[in-house]
């Protein structure tokens, strides 16, 4: 096994958490997902470049993010996948896993309970609650839906660390109040309503409509940029076509049959000679081949 540099003695993930920016924490979660896949595939070592590409970030940013965890890799070799995964899990507080209760056994709540990815990442659903008499007592993925009136007692028994709210907007605040009163300190809400909670309670909100609005904005911006690019391209083509019609760039020198140079002026123009119109060309004496004739002295002006 490749030798790895361990975190210095006495420095735990908890001690480092306060120093890690929120944006870095979000990316650490992405790195953890990639590392979990690599571990499942049997990959032992991963380079910073490979991990960065899989996570969709630059390798420099990845190395800076991982520097918050202390020394982890071997220069020129890479990171031990299992050790780095465990290190990130420790910093994110996932080493011991989390017990999750969910309030709101509607379509969204049932879908979340049935999602197996939560358990694979250390989040086990241990309780499901609702206030609908027709739903209470039914089973969802092995969990029996319990009456929300039993929430305080259930929290004391189940000892969850995270609560999820998937109820209609009108009742989201009241459910939040029940969870806070039961002692929950980490709440994830899928309601767009801004919930009021004590400072000691961490509430995070997931608004799917906002996320789709952001995607809509990106689509509109991409369409606008593409239209602008097409307009620029069309303008350039129009200028090129007009230039060809006007003869711009047609002043190339070519040889006449008598050996002299003929220098055409812009196409479509005529010159007059002795008061009479004539083709827009003029005869130039044969080119001098001597070096002195070809190179003007400094400061001189060469006339045609």
Annotated binding site: 104-109
The phi, psi pair for 206, rounded to 5°, reads -115, 110
Beta strands in the chain (DSSP E): 45-46, 79-80, 98-103, 123-130, 139-140, 143-147, 162-165, 186-189, 202-205, 254-255, 261-262, 270-273, 276-279, 283-284
Q: What is the largest CA-CA distance in the chain?
A: 112
Q: What are the phi and psi torsion angles at 120 (to 5°)?
A: -65, -25
Please list the helix, strand and coil fractions of the chain in percent, rounded to the nearest 5, in that order. Answer: 45, 15, 40
| Among the listed residues 217, 115, 213, the one whose alpha carbon sits nearest the alpha carbon of residue 166 | 115
Give the contacts of 159 (CB within 8 A, at least 6 positions apart). 99
Feature table: binding site for NAD(+) = 104-109
Contact 100, 165 (CB under 8 A): no
**Strand pairing report for 98-103 and 123-130:** parallel
156: tokens are: 């004391």
């Amino acid at each position: 096994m490749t030798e790895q540099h361990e975190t210095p003695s006495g420095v735990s993930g908890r001690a480092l958490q306060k120093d890690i920016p929120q944006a870095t924490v979000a990316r650490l979660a992405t790195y953890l997902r990639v590392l979990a896949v690599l571990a499942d595939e049997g990959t032992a070592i991963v380079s910073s470049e490979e991990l960065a590409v899989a996570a969709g970030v630059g390798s420099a940013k990845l190395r800076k993010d991982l520097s918050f965890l202390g020394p982890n890799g071997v220069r020129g070799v890479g990171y031990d996948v299992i050790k780095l995964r465990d290190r990130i899990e420790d910093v994110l507080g996932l080493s011991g896993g989390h017990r999750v209760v969910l309030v709101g056994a509607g379509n969204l709540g049932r879908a979340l309970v049935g999602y197996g990815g939560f358990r694979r990442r250390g989040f086990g659903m241990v309780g499901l609650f609702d206030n609908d008499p027709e739903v209470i007592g039914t089973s969802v993925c092995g969990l029996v839906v319990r009456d929300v009136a039993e929430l305080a007692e259930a929290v004391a028994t189940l000892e969850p660390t995270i609560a999820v709210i998937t109820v209609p907007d009108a009742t989201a605040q009241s459910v939040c109040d029940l969870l806070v009163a039961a002692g929950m300190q980490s709440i994830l809400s899928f309601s767009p309503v801004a919930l009021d909670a004590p400072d000691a309670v961490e509430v995070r909100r997931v608004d799917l409509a906002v996320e789709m609005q952001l995607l809509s904005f990106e689509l509109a911006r991409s369409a606008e940029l593409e239209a602008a690019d097409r307009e620029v391209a069309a303008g350039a083509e129009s200028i090129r076509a007009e230039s060809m019609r006007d003869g711009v760039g047609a002043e190339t020198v070519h040889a006449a049959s008598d050996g002299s140079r003929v220098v055409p002026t812009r196409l479509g123009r005529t010159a007059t000679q002795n008061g009479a119109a004539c083709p827009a060309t003029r005869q130039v004496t044969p080119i001098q081949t001597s070096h002195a004739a070809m190179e003007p002295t400094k400061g001189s002006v060469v006339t045609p």
